[in-house]
A and B are shown apart, each in its own frame.
Chain A
Amino acid sequence: EVQLVQSGAEVKKPGESLKISCEASGYSFPNYFIGWVRQMPGRGLEWMGIIYPGDSDTRYSPSFQGQVTISADTSINTAYLQWSSLKPSDSAMYFCANALESWGQGTLVTVSS
């Protein structure tokens, strides 16, 4: 069974860094893209970017280019989404999703002073 399990909810202050994770199982992780989708409170879905773990080829949506970093570690079948300096506007639910149409359960990120 294909599964994506995300790390737990985070509460951070503006300016702090953060890295959230998405552990994949049940399929060949290097061979299928995996990416991140943002959902702000009460709003719709936005693709942030995707990574092909096999060669680390990464594509970002223009809205998120330079704002976040997507990476993957094929030795532990895990994808990551990271921020170097969080803003309150980064408060949202973040989902990982892969090319096999599996989704993680979501990670709630709250940024508040």
Chain B
Amino acid sequence: EIVLTQSPATLSLSPGERATLSCRASQSVTNYLAWYQQKPGQAPRLLIYEASNRATGIPARFSGSGSGTDFTLTISSLEPEDFAVYYCQQRSDWPQTFGPGTKVDIK
């Protein structure tokens, strides 16, 4: 089973700041890496698929990069609605696994 680790566990930032979230896989997932956002009481929402492709309707301030084992989600300028938990997910192998999440909270 491919294990994903995310860092940091918590990121405390102010609106307007840049957020950089990391995800590392225990073995190569090529580019089969997705990012989700989850807010309390809601289902996860897909932000990025195949490492760098924004899902439909996702604002341009969200971008993804990386390949192999190291990936990054960048939020260029945090909006108030961006404070949430972010999960990476590998889709290279079954079972698809999620990372433990990074909580982006308001500083």
Contact = CB atoms under 8 A, between A and B. Distances in A.
| Chain A partners chain B | yes
Interface of A: 44-47, 49, 59-63, 95, 97, 101, 103-106
7 contacts: A44-B98, A45-B36, A46-B98, A47-B95, A63-B95, A95-B44, A106-B43
A85 B89 CA distance: 30
B43 A47 contact: no
Nearest to B85: A44
B97 A101 contact: no
B1 interface: yes
A90 B96 CA distance: 20
Contacts of B84: none
* Size bracket of the B interface: 10 to 19
A47 B97 contact: yes
Given A44-B87, A44-B99, A45-B87, A59 B44 contact: no
A101 B34 CA distance: 11
A61 B95 contact: yes
B11 interface: no
Q: Quick one: which of B43, B44, B45, B87 has the most chain A CB within 10 A?
A: B43
A60 B1 CA distance: 12
A62 B89 CA distance: 17
B55 A104 contact: no
Contacts of B46: 101
A63 B100 CA distance: 16
A97 to B, nearest CB: 8
Contacts of B98: 44-47
A62 B44 contact: no
Q: Quick one: which of A45, A95, A104 has the most chain B CB within 10 A?
A: A45
B25 to A, nearest CB: 15
A45 B44 contact: yes
Contacts of A46: 98
Contacts of B64: none
Contacts of A101: 46, 49, 55
A97 B34 CA distance: 14
Given A45-B87, A47-B95, A62-B1, A103 B43 contact: yes
